[in-house]
């Protein structure tokens, strides 16, 4: 007969197994309960480094109580009773059998410093994972009134955690992060597409603004067509070609931006009409790019911390690489938010004249120049 599960029967398989660090914490606490004087050798961790409330309460209690005399401690359990009574104030589930089990599972008390180092490493992983999660949450929280400023604050907090891990675990020769972090596609929100279209139309109507926005790149756009049209505008401006909807349409055709069967009138309509200043819409576009880069950085760091095979060194290297991409966009956004005075705009005619004045190399001369005859 098939076995019918009892509703009151304990499903042990449903209980998540503790992580390896849980057993490391048990070994460390057992070593300190067995030989309390080993606490002098345990540095770099605090009660917050432990993964459970019971372990945090035990370690805090061991640190707060004076170590007993080793000889007396070997004869009786008086100090252990004091530890249990004190720790129960923070973790009422603690019991005397659990303290004795901690002592029994500790392989060697003299390895306490090594156990502490492992606990410290896992705590750094959890801290970094939490900071990365806050960064991603803030970057995607559309209800936040100051989302960009708050996101950059969280990015600085992540960088602080990374620097602290690097200080605790100095760099050493080792492999780079092996976790593959696929770059997610940029979200194509309708609001973002509208702002990009307004930027393209305003810039087409005011071509001189192209030189005022060197901080804007095609990668800041969420839609490939809009990114391509921005490249058309910058290319026309660089060559000194007049800019209007028709010239941009012609450039777009040569860059392969017009899909087969596309209606050119739609593109002309997109580039016609101007509402607001190009710099305003450009700042909005790069601001959205900052949030996207922060979201990508947070997810990448989260992937590194989720990989339990990553060492602290690999976490530092991978996180700094992820934050470097955000730093580039952040710098451009700062230039957009506080633009510096720009030189006077050169008209296309002036730039074309200047370009024409530059001497060009002619074809190679294969015959000797004829001698000039002297007058008779």
Tens digits of residue pLDDT in 85-96: 999 999 998 999
Residue 278 and residue 320 in one domain: yes
Same domain, 211 and 309: yes
Q: What is the mean pLDDT of residues 98-116?
A: 95
pLDDT at 179 (0 to 100)? 66
What pLDDT, on the 0 to 100 scale, is given for residue 375?
A: 42
**Least confident window among 186-200, 242-256, 309-323, 341-355:** 341-355
pLDDT digits (tens, 9 = 90+) for 124-174: 999 999 999 999 999 999 899 999 999 999 999 999 999 999 999 987 766
Token representation of residue 267: 């593109």
**CA separation, residue 173 to residues 170, 199, 313, 317 (Å):** 10, 48, 9, 12
Length of the chain: 376
Q: Rounded to whole angstroms, what are the CA distances from 313 to 170, 304, 360? A: 8, 11, 54
Query: Same domain, yes or no, for 199 and 334?
Result: yes
- Report yes or no on 349 lying in a domain: no
Average pLDDT, the chain: 85
* Cβ proximity of 200 and 226 under 8 Å: yes
Helix and strand numbers, DSSP H then E, in the chain: 14, 0
Give the pLDDT band of residue 246 (cuts 50, 70, 90): very high
Q: Residue 190: its pLDDT value, please? A: 82
The per-residue pLDDT for 366 is: 38
Percentage of the chain beyond pLDDT 90 is 66
Q: Per-residue confidence at 44, pLDDT binned at 50, 70, 90?
A: confident
- Asked whether residue 275 falls in the same domain as residue 149, the answer is yes
Does 362 map to a domain?
Answer: no
Lowest mean pLDDT among 235-239, 266-270, 332-336, 342-346: 342-346
133 within a domain of the structure (yes/no): yes
90 and 237 both lie in a single domain: no
Kindly state whether residues 249 and 301 are assigned to the same domain.
Answer: yes
pLDDT of 105 > 90? The answer is yes
Give residue 29's domain range. Answer: 18-107
Q: Are residues 260 and 165 in the same domain?
A: yes
Read out DSSP for 201-250? HHHHH-GGGGTT-TT--GGG-SSHHHHHHHHHHHHHHHHT---SHHHHHH
Distance CA 125, CA 312 (A): 7
Query: Does residue 184 lie in a domain region?
Result: no
pLDDT band at 356 (very low <50, low <70, confident <90, very high): very low
Total domains in the fold of the chain: 2
Task: Tell me, yes or no, whether 200 lies in a domain.
Answer: yes
Contacts of 84 (CB under 8 A, 6+ apart): 94, 95, 96, 99
Per the listing, tokens 């959205």 go with: 288
Q: What is the pLDDT of residues 265-300, one digit of tens each?
A: 988 998 987 778 999 999 999 999 999 999 999 999
Are residue 43 and residue 154 in the same domain, yes or no? no
Are 190 and 305 spatial neighbours (Cβ–Cβ below 8 Å)?
A: no
Instruction: Say yes or no: 291 and 314 in one domain.
Output: yes
Given a contact cutoff of 8 angstroms between Cβ atoms, the answer to whether 233 and 243 are in contact is: yes
Q: How far apart are CA 104 and CA 98, in angstroms?
A: 10
Q: Which of the 8 DSSP states describes residue 340?
A: P
pLDDT of residue 234: 95
**Together in a domain, 330 and 307:** yes
Task: Give the distance from CA 114 to its chain's centroid.
Answer: 31
Residue 355: is its pLDDT beyond 70?
no
**Residue 319 in this model has a pLDDT that exceeds 60:** yes
- The verdict on residue 115 lying in a domain is no
Portion of the chain with pLDDT greater than 70, in percent: 81
Given pLDDT bands bounded at 50, 70 and 90, which one contains residue 376? very low
Using an 8 Å Cβ cutoff, are 146 and 287 in contact?
no
The answer, yes or no, to whether residue 342 has pLDDT greater than 60, is: no
Q: DSSP of 38-100, one letter per residue?
A: GGGG--S--GGGSSSHHHHHHHHHHHHSPPPPHHHHHH--HHHHHHHHHHTTT-TT--HHHHH
Torsion sign across C-alpha atoms 222, 226, 228, 232: negative
pLDDT value at 363 more than 60: no
Please state, in angstroms and rounded to a whole number, the distance separating the CA atoms of residues 259 and 281.
Answer: 26
pLDDT band at 370 (very low <50, low <70, confident <90, very high): very low
Q: Is residue 285 part of a domain?
A: yes
Which residue has better confidence, 33 or 338?
33
């Amino acid at each position: 007969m098939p076995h019918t599960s009892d509703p009151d029967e304990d499903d042990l398989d449903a209980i998540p197994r503790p992580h390896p660090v849980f057993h490391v914490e048990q070994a460390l606490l057992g070593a300190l309960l067995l030989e309390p004087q080993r606490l002098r050798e345990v540095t770099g961790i605090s009660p917050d480094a432990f993964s459970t409330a019971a372990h945090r309460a035990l370690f805090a209690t061991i640190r707060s109580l004076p170590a007993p005399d080793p000889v007396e401690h070997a004869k009786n359990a008086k100090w252990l009773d004091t530890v249990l009574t004190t720790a129960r104030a923070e973790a009422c589930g603690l019991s005397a059998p659990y303290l004795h089990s901690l002592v029994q599972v500790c392989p060697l008390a003299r390895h306490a410093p090594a156990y502490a180092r492992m606990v410290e490493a896992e705590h750094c992983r959890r801290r970094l994972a939490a900071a990365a999660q806050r960064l991603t949450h803030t970057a995607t929280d559309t209800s936040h009134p100051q989302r960009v400023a708050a996101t950059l604050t969280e990015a600085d907090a992540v960088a602080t955690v990374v620097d602290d891990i690097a200080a605790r675990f100095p760099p050493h020769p080792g492999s780079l992060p092996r976790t593959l972090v696929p770059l997610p596609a940029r979200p194509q929100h309708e609001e973002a597409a509208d702002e990009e279209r307004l930027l393209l139309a305003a810039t087409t109507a005011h071509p001189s603004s192209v030189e005022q926005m060197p901080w804007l790149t095609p990668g800041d756009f969420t839609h490939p067509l809009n990114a391509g049209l921005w490249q058309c505008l910058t290319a026309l401006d660089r060559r000194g070609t007049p800019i209007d909807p028709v010239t941009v349409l012609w450039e777009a055709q040569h860059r392969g931006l017009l899909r087969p069967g596309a209606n050119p009138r739609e593109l002309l309509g997109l580039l016609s009409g101007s509402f607001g200043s190009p710099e305003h819409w450009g700042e909005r576009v790069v601001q959205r790019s900052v949030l996207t880069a922060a979201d990508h950085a947070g997810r990448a760091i989260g992937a590194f911390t989720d990989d339990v095979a990553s060492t602290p060194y690999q976490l530092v290297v991978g996180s700094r690489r992820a934050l470097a991409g955000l730093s580039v966009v952040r710098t451009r956004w700062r230039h957009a938010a506080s633009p510096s005075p720009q030189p006077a705009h050169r008209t296309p005619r002036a730039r074309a004249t200047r370009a024409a004045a530059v001497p060009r190399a002619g074809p190679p001369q294969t015959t000797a120049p004829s001698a000039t005859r002297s007058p008779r």
